[in-house]
Amino acid sequence: MRRLRSGIFIISCGPKLLERIRKWWHETGLIRLLSPSEQTLVNSSYDNEELIRRMSWRGEAAQFLLWALGVFKELPLPCKGIDIVDVLWPHIPKALSEDPEPFFSASKLRPIEEVLDEVDIIHRMNWACTDQRLGGQEVPKLNHTVVWERAYASNWLVGYPDGYLTTQEWDEVVVDT
């Protein structure tokens, strides 16, 4: 469960918040829970456009993880990218200004059947997007990058391909599409 709880903090909030985020990660000691790739992102400057793009898409993965913890009642269809500050930020402990432990303590994973049902839906959407893209078409109303980020997070959560809740490093998640 700690693995999941630390995973929801893998989000990005934009250049104006970078120093505040860095300080919070280090002051809370949660920096140790980040993967090597995430630590690089947290400690980097915002002059790298590729880095900014990669960080911004991780918010889509974080939304799925927060849903799995019951923070969101439901997940919207992955039609467009979310506004990280508007959608995720209100659910992170007082905008990174307080102790995260009460949030961790209150977190409870949804029933496994519900999680696996959503994982199945995500993987069906991901395959549909992949099949359509390979055929030179787009799936109406689905954003393939948003779907892929949810597949990434769901694979991490369920330990794909090795089995439910196996230890899988965040930076080494497999998405087979």
pLDDT at 2 > cutoff 70: no
Q: Regarding predicted confidence, which is higher, 41 or 130? A: 130
In a domain, 89, yes or no: yes
Predicted confidence band at 114 (pLDDT cuts at 50, 70, 90)? very high
Our count of domains for the chain comes to 1
Structural domain includes residue 177? no
Domain of residue 121 covers 2-172
Instruction: Classify residue 143: in a domain, yes or no.
Output: yes
Interval 39-79: pLDDT, tens = 877 777 666 667 666 767 888 898 999 899 888 899 999 99
pTM above 0.95, yes or no: no
pLDDT value of residue 10 = 42
Query: What is the SS3 assignment for the chain?
Result: CHHHHHHCCCCCCCHHHHHHHHHHHHHHCHHHHCCHHHHHHHCCCCCCHHHHHHHHHHHHHHHHHHHHCCCCCCCCCCCCCCCHHHHCHHHCHHHHCCCCHHHHHHCCCCCHHHHHHHHHHHHHHHHHHHHHHHCCCCCCCCCHHHHHHHHHHHHHHHCCCCCCCCCCCHHHCCCCC
